[in-house]
Chains A and B, each alone.
Chain A
């Protein structure tokens, strides 16, 4: 299985720019996707195929990367963005990163 590694947590102030990283144990080309999960809710797709913004998702969210290193950027961060963010690869059987919990100061 392809292992995806994410930093466990981040804390930022509203209005700042935040980057959430995801590193794959092997190249996944651009087959990387990002989800947001708020407490008690189901995950929500934000970005697909590394850099494509899902319909209805604010343009404050963007994705980049290829190969083994990927980034989700939120600029500017808003209070409502408090959530856990997961990356997921589809190069082979789907696997998810451990999630990055984003907290606002």
Chain B
């Protein structure tokens, strides 16, 4: 059974940093691209970043470029999101998702339960 378990969320002040983790199990982690997708309170879904299977390429939405870094440790089957210079508009539940990158940017077939990040003073 595929499982994705996020951790590392919490309350952080604007301008500070936070690092999210996602522990994967139930599949060969190193075979798949992975992504972070977020959802602001009572709002819709928003893709944040994707990393391909071996970590050699990464993709970001414009609003987080230069502030967020997606990375992975295939030996530990773990995905990360380093978030720097956080803003109030980054407040959201962050989901880790397996990203099936066939046909361009593809789709997300498994999702974690999500972790809440609140950026506030």
Contacts and interface: CB of A to CB of B under 8 A. Distances in A.
- State yes or no: do A and B come from one complex: yes
B61 interface: yes
Contact of A45 (B45, B103, B108): B108
Contact of A43 (B59, B103, B105, B111): B111
List the 10 closest pairs (A to B, CB-CB), nearest first.
A33-B107, A94-B47, A42-B111, A90-B105, A96-B45, A48-B107, A45-B109, A98-B44, A99-B44, A90-B104
Interface of A: 31, 33, 35, 37, 41-45, 48-49, 54, 86, 88, 90-99
Interface of B: 37, 44-47, 59, 61, 95, 100, 103-114
30 contacts: A31-B103, A31-B104, A35-B108, A37-B45, A41-B113, A42-B95, A42-B113, A43-B37, A43-B108, A43-B111, A45-B109, A45-B110, A48-B100, A48-B109, A49-B103, A86-B44, A88-B45, A88-B107, A88-B108, A90-B104, A90-B107, A92-B105, A93-B61, A94-B105, A95-B47, A96-B44, A96-B45, A97-B44, A99-B44, A99-B45
